[in-house]
Structure 1
Amino acid sequence: MQIRRRTIAALALLCLGGAAQAIDYRSVDVPAAVLYDAPSQKGKKLYLIKAQTPVEVVVRLEGWCKVRDAEGTLAWIEARNLGERRMLVVTAAKAEIRQSDKIEAPLVVEIDKGVGLEFIEPASPGWAKVRHRDGATGYVRSLQVWGL
């Protein structure tokens, strides 16, 4: 009976600890990587994903990561193909990069849907500081991008 209570308590703590974990976003760190339907090179090749594409890591398993992309597709990628650099992808028709994290701030540049932005740091609620590959830096509304 004592062992059963300890087991239940341990499982409860594990469940609570899992709920507190932050979402893990990574970006593809090679020119192109293959996504598979299983954590093996023998799995079915689903599609290629290009460099700097952000993905959400859902599961880690012996050199493999199950990831979700901006469209919600789940697939497996070799962990060595992911880097620490955090990227976002524009999901709105046009994302507005502003000089500060205020809607009335001057516009720096508009970015088209599908373009990647480097995540620099969080800003006020609903905003993130980002950098475009051409060097333009500013703030984007979180509703206009995926990967936060």
Structure 2
Amino acid sequence: MHNLTKVMQYTIKVGLLCVGLLLAIHVNALEFRSVAINKAVLYDAPSTEAKKVYVIASGYPVEVIVNLGEWIKIRDHFGSLSWIQGKQLSPKRMALIVNDKAELKQAEAEDAALLATFEKDVVVELVSGPKSEWVPRKW
């Protein structure tokens, strides 16, 4: 009986480890894209016959929730879910300034030279994902 308890404890620990790894993989597997055309129509279902809910501009960043190939379910920065035709999205990573302003610095330091200031709702291109609170820039 004592050995059975140890086996059960080991199995539970391994199971929890696997669940933790799967969650970590899921978090790292987030997919983001941007709108590739000037004006993209968003729908409430994966069909051009569905209700049109929004129009978004070129470069707008979105998170991919479900990819059906021809149609992709996306989430915008407000958390709203909608559908867009897959061909209207680009793999180019963009970021939307959501604070009142964002400063572009020469280096990753608060006292670094200020290169530019971006206002809220400005879209900028990401050259790589953030490794800290600092995000690389592209001119």
Please say whether Structure 1 and Structure 2 have the same fold, judged by a TM-score greater than 0.5.
Answer: yes
Checking the alignment, whether the CA contact within 8 Å between 1:35 and 1:48 is kept in structure 2 is yes
Higher helix share: 2
Tell me the distance in 1 between the aligned counterparts of 2:46 and 2:53.
Answer: 12
- How many residues get paired? 120
SS of the aligned residue for 2:87 comes to: helix
Q: Spell out the pairing of 1:9-48 with structure 2 (5 A cutoff).
A: 17=22, 20-21=25-26, 22-48=29-55
**2:9 matched residue in structure 1:** none
Structure 1 length as normaliser, TM-score? 0.74
The 8 Å contact of residues 101 and 124 in structure 1, kept in 2 or not, is answered as: no
2:61 is aligned to 54
Root mean square deviation of aligned Cα: 2.0
Unaligned runs of 5+ in 2: 1-17
Structure 1, residues 93-148: CA drift from partner, whole Å, max 9, x if none?
Answer: 010111111122111110000001000124541111123xxx3xxxxxxxxxxxxx
Call closer, same or farther: CA 1:89–1:80 in 2, change over 3 Å: same
Give the one of 112, 120, 123 matched to 1:116.
123
1:63-102 equivalences under 5 Å are 63-102=70-109
Change in CA separation of 1:114 and 1:65 when aligned onto 2, cut-off 3 Å: same
Provide closer, same or farther for how the CA distance between residues 30 and 61 of structure 1 changes in structure 2, counting only shifts above 3 A. same
Mark the structure with the bigger radius of gyration: 2
Q: For residue 136 of structure 2, give the secondary structure of its aligned residue in structure 1.
A: strand
- Percent identity over the alignment is 38
Structure 1: 4+ residue segments shifted above 2 A: 16-19
Q: Which runs of 5+ in 1 are unaligned?
A: 1-12, 136-148
- Give the Cα–Cα distance (whole angstroms) in 1 for the partners of residues 46 and 70 of structure 2: 8
- TM-score computed with the length of structure 2 as normaliser: 0.78
Corresponding residue SS for 1:95:
strand
- SS of the equivalent of 1:33 reads strand
